[in-house]
Structure formats: structure tokens, C-alpha cells
């Protein structure tokens, strides 16, 4: 039986201690040097064998670097207009995807990502490009619990170590450090998981080419319309989550 690399295990515990001090984006990149080949192959196969995700992933399409100026002309109610509003209202960084790509290329040059297949290199870069669009499409807020729900949604749609590590880290912290986090975290996770399972896959989709369309039209196309509001709320969440709010 393949065992977890002990050096990686220490970093996992460090992330579990405080996932804002040592983020999952760092843990994710730590994993590849000693990741089990069989586990890597299963992650690749899950994408390649998916009827919708496989063909899109093979195209390796990446959008141009995002700028708020690109979407300033779109009216509210369109995907582009709602994306702009989401970015401005939450004071989010325009260079999120570009900044991660710089980190990715630095680690790649150091040889730390030699075991990461090209398909998963593409997945993580494309994932950073679409992350905030996925917030808009799913309706999940840019809050700690909203982020957790979105990762659960993503994992429900695609076997992917980044999302799985996020859930494992948060629940590990809740289990071993702060049990008051268990219920709000599980409410967010179960909402995202169920939502992601029933929706059509939004992974690798070029939503940047649909910015002029009404948001509700795009949501309807991908099974993302929902009458109910997420059951989880930010009230009375544990201190670790409040730190990032």
C-alpha cells in the first residue's frame, strides 16, 4: 500500500493548523514530487474520460489575462456585467490567475512539478482563470464558507486534488482543532456537493466568450438556476474563518 510522503505530511499538518497561514495552493504544489503514480493517473483519467471535460481539456484553451477594463461595457444582468460587479464589490485582485501562473512557472523551473502531468498543469491554470466566473455562475459569495462551498461544487464535478485537499484540510482542522467549525463547514460542503452533482459540468468552459449573454440564460444552460438560497450563513462562524472574512 502506498504511504503518504512524510515531508508532505508535515506540510499538510501545517496547512491544517492554519490554512490561511500556509495555503492549499502551496500544499497542492508540494504534493507532486512524491505523489503516488497511481493516484496521479486516476486524476488524469477522470478528466480524459469525461464526455464533456475531456474534449475541452484537449483544446488547452486559455483566456487572455483578465482586466476589469475588458468588462466595463457590459450591462448588469449579463455575465460580463455581473462578473465586473462581483470583482468590484469584493475588491478582488485582477491578477489572480496571472499571479498564480508566475508561481507555477517558478516551481516548474525548479523541477518541483516534474511529476505533474501536462493536463493537470493546464487544469490548475485554467481553474484560476475561471474561479471568479464560477462564483458568479453558482451564486456562491467570496466569503470563507462561500469559497468552501465552491470547492465542494468543483470536486463534485471533477476528481481534482486541489479541491479535495481544501475540504480535507478544513475538516481536519475542524475535527482536531475547532469542532465549532464542523457544522458550518459541512453545511457549505454538502450544499456545494449536491449543487455540483446535479448541474452540468462547467469545467474548462470558455465562459469568457459568453460575457454578453444574460447571466440567467447561461445558468439555465448549465443547470445552475436554483430557487433556494444556500443554507449556510456567515453568522457565528469560528474565529479562523472570521480572520479571512
pLDDT tens digits, one per residue of 28-79:
999 999 999 999 999 999 999 999 999 999 999 999 887 888 888 999 999 9
171 belongs to a structural domain: yes
1 belongs to a structural domain: no
Mean pLDDT confidence for 220-237: 79
Number of domains in the chain: 1
State the chain's mean pLDDT as an integer.
91
Q: What is the pLDDT of residue 222?
A: 98
Task: Write out pLDDT tens, residues 151-167.
Answer: 999 999 999 999 999 99
Q: What is the pLDDT of residue 245?
A: 44
Q: What is the pLDDT of residue 234?
A: 53
- Say yes or no to pLDDT of 243 above 80: no
Burial zone of 214 (CB within 10 Å; 0-12 exposed, 13-18 middle, 19+ buried): middle
Which domain covers residue 92, as residue numbers? 6-244
- Say yes or no to pLDDT of 244 above 50: no
18 belongs to a structural domain: yes
- Say yes or no to pLDDT of 241 above 80: no
- Say yes or no to pLDDT of 219 above 60: yes
pTM above 0.75, yes or no: yes
64 belongs to a structural domain: yes
Q: What is the pLDDT of residue 130?
A: 94
Mean pLDDT confidence for 215-240: 80
Amino acid at each position: 500500500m502506498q504511504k503518504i510522503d512524510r515531508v508532505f505530511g508535515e506540510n499538510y499538518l501545517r496547512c491544517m493548523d492554519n490554512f490561511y497561514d500556509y495555503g492549499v495552493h502551496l500544499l497542492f504544489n508540494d504534493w507532486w514530487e512524491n505523489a503516488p503514480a497511481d493516484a496521479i493517473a486516476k486524476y488524469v483519467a477522470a478528466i480524459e474520460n469525461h464526455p464533456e471535460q475531456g474534449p475541452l481539456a484537449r483544446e488547452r484553451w486559455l483566456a487572455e489575462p483578465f482586466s476589469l477594463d475588458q468588462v466595463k461595457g457590459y450591462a448588469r444582468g449579463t455575465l460580463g456585467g455581473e462578473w465586473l460587479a462581483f470583482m468590484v464589490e469584493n475588491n478582488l485582485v485582477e491578477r489572480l490567475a496571472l499571479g498564480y501562473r508566475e508561481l507555477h512557472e517558478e516551481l516548474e523551473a525548479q523541477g518541483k512539478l516534474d511529476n505533474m502531468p501536462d493536463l493537470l498543469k493546464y487544469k490548475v491554470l485554467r481553474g484560476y482563470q475561471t474561479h471568479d466566473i464560477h462564483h458568479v455562475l453558482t451564486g456562491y459569495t467570496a466569503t470563507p464558507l462561500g469559497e468552501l462551498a465552491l470547492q465542494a461544487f468543483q470536486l463534485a464535478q471533477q476528481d481534482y486534488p486541489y479541491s479535495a485537499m481544501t475540504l480535507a484540510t478544513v475538516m481536519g482542522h475542524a475535527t482536531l482543532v475547532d469542532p465549532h467549525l464542523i457544522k458550518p463547514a459541512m453545511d457549505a460542503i454538502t450544499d456545494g456537493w449536491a449543487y455540483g452533482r446535479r448541474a452540468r459540468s462547467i469545467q474548462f468552459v470558455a465562459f469568457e466568450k459568453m460575457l454578453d449573454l444574460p447571466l440567467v440564460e447561461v445558468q439555465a444552460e448549465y443547470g445552475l438556476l436554483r430557487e433556494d438560497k444556500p443554507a449556510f450563513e456567515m453568522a457565528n462562524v469560528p474565529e479562523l474563518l472570521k480572520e479571512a472574512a
